[in-house]
Structures are given as C-alpha cells and as structure tokens.
Amino acid sequence: MKKLFAVTLGILTAIGGFVDIGDFVASSQAGSRFGMSLAWVLVVGVVGICAYAEMAGRVAAISNRAVFDLVRERLGPRVALLNLVAAFLVTLVTLGAEMGGVALALELATSVHYLLWVPVVGLVLWVMLWRLKFQTLERIFGLVGLSLVVFLIALPHLHPHWHGMWRQATHPAPATGESWSTYSYFAVALFASALTPYEVFFFSSGGVEEKWGPGELSTMRANVLVGFPIGGLLSLGIMATAATVFHPLHVRLNSVGQAALPVALGLGKIGLATVILGIFAATFSAAMETGLSSAYTVSQYFGWQWGKLVAPREAARFHALILVSILLGVLMLFTTIDPVQLTEFMLVFSAFILPLTYLPILVIANDRGYLGPHVNGPLANMIGTVFLIVIVIAAVAAIPLMVVTGMGG
C-alpha cells in the first residue's frame, strides 16, 4: 500500500501536466478538427516526458538536490538566470490559466460566472499550499483526478467508428479543408503540453520533498512509468471522444464545457458530474504544481530555504513567492482574458523555451560529479538526444506557426 501511495506523485504530476485546461481544449480541438491523426504526438510526448522525468528524478534521488538547484552550479549564473526568467514567466502564466480552469469547472457546476470564483480559488489554493502536507496534496488530487477516466468509459457508449479512428491514427495528415501549417501548429501545441517545463521542476523538487535516495529509484521509476502514461491515456480519451462526436460534424471547439459534452452524451448526468469533478481536480492539481514550481525555481536559483517540509517561518521567502504568484495569477484573470486562450499562448511560448529546460537536464544527468555511476546509459542518452532535437525543432517552429495560422484559426 505504501508503494501504491508513493506512485501518486507521478499521477499528480501527470494529471497536472498532461490534463490541464490547455490540454482539454487542445486535445478536444485536435480531435474535432483532425480526428485521431494527431494521436501520435501524444504518444511521442509521453515517451519524451518519461525519459526526461526519469533523468530529473534520478538526479534528485542520487544528489538529494532538485534539478534547478544544480543548473546554476553546473552551467553558471548567467545561463541559469536566462532559464529562470523564461521558466518563471511561463509557469506564472500557466498558474493563471489553471486557476481560471478551476473557476470554469466551478462555473459548470454552479452556473455562477467564473470570475466570481477566481478570488475564492486563489484563497483556497494559497491556504492549501501553506497548510497541507505535500503527501496529502498529491494523494488527494492525484487520485481524485483519475475520475477523468470517465472519458475512456464514455467512448464506447458514443459508438465510435473504431476502424476509421485507427486509420486516422495510423495515417497522420490534415483533414479535408485543413492545411499542413494548421496541422503542424496543433502538433507543436500538443507536444508542448506534454513537456511543459514546470513538470520536471515539480517532479524533481517533489522527490527531494519526499526524501528520495538511491533506495527509492524503483519508486521514482514507477512514478514515471505509471503516472505519465496515465496522463497520456486520459488525453487520448479526450481526443477520441471529440473525434467521435464533433469531427464528423466539422465542429470547432473552444471551451472546457464543449470538451466535456461527449461524456454527458455518452453517460448522462452522472457522467457529466464525474467529468466536472475530474476537470476540477486536474486543473487544481495543475494550479498547485505551478504555484509550487514558481517558488521552487526562484528559491533554488538564489539558494533560499524552500520546501513544504520546512516550517513556513524558516522558508518565509518560499511561501511569500507562492502567495505573490497566486496574487499575480488572480490579477491576470481579472483582466478578463479567456483562460483557454491564455493557456494556448502559454503552450506556444512553452514550446519556444523547451530547449532551455531540457538541455540542462541532459547535461546534469551525464555529470559523474553529481550522479557517479548513476549517470545516463547509452539508451537514455540516445533517447534524450533524439528528443532534444525534436524539442529544438518545435521551439523554432512554434512562433512562426502561431503567426501564420492565427493560433490555429
């Protein structure tokens, strides 16, 4: 049972990183516009995040230090500062979007406008991050977020054309009326959603919080190999339900409510209630991850005391950073910017900065000064290098594709 609960860190990270408000919209939009022809991107993304999360977790378990804690030491303060600024800004924008996602889920449940929920979400998020233990947070929201399996349960009730979906998945190409540039834009957005930078920072910092050591390497790998594929599978479920219901009708989706509609069609009111609970848990867990990650990265760069296991009085700057980040997220939403659109912008710029996040991880994972005999083997280096090339291609293409396609319009 202890081992089972230990895996919830990976489940929380996967749900918060894979299945957030951006993924609800990106996966459902991809399904409605391209059927299952972009499913391969999610599969590739799962392999990539598993490879790099394993490196980040191994660094934490062997060195007892989080990845960002080593970036400045290994690559120097200037390179690390560039990484810090880019990662913090993207994480802050993501935090605002995820808080908006929680508010949207509450709007679906209560019919009260989401902006009225935003300050409530911010207050509850801050109190929970301040008062609750790390393990309590990961277990509650990691496991409740699994209610998103309702997408997979609803799929057969929608009577999909299985052969047609398989053909779409195995013959990736733009659907009729769509261009290759739009197809590529959605591919980059989906890829970025799978490898969002805060995921690895949160995962490695969480490993330090849970006091992983060399004896916990198997637990860490179980987190990676169970949690992240679960997140990818849930994302495929979202895409498949949208592909079944909306793609034949040529309907374009742009809201969380629309993404949840197929579950209501397949399973009725019980399904709708379950999917709203899942959306709430997934977006709230993502808000927790991004709130913690924003404080993790800054504190680790400057060498401040940090962590949920440290008394707030002893890590005052860490907790102050969480509070300030949440307040900035609330103010961001009070501009009335659409949380969905905010997350789509985040995915593009997240893709743009991906090399700044993953190159240092690959470098540190090959440093015997930190890992000794636990450095990357040939297979890990081959996978890491291949994915780094893909990451660079996505980074170079992200902004031009956003401009050319009008954000996939």
Q: What is the pLDDT of residues 316-346, one digit of tens each?
A: 999 999 999 999 999 999 999 888 788 788 8
SS (H, E, C) the chain: CHHHHHCHHHHHHHHHHHCCHHHHHHHHHHHHHHCCCCHHHHHHHHHHHHHHHHHHHHHHHHHCCCHHHHHHHHHCHHHHHHHHHHHHHHHHHHHHHHHHHHHHHHHHHHCCCHHHHHHHHHHHHHHHHHHCCHHHHHHHHHHHHHHHHHHHHHHHHCCCCHHHHHHHHHCCCCCCCCCHHHHHHHHHHHHHHHCCHHHHHHHHHHHHHCCCCHHHHHHHHHHHHHHHHHHHHHHHHHHHHHHHHCHHHCCCCCCHHHHHHHHHHHHHHHHHHHHHHHHHHHHHHHHHHHHHHHHHHHHHHHCCCCCCCCCCCCCHHHHHHHHHHHHHHHHHHCCCCCHHHHHHHHHHHHHHHHHHHHHHHHHHCCCHHHHHHHCCCHHHHHHHHHHHHHHHHHHHHHHHHHHHHCCCC
pTM as predicted:
0.88
Mean pLDDT of the chain: 87
Q: Which residues of the chain have pLDDT under 70?
A: 1-18, 134-135, 137-139, 141-143
Domains and CATH numbers, the chain: 2-405 (1.10.4160.10)
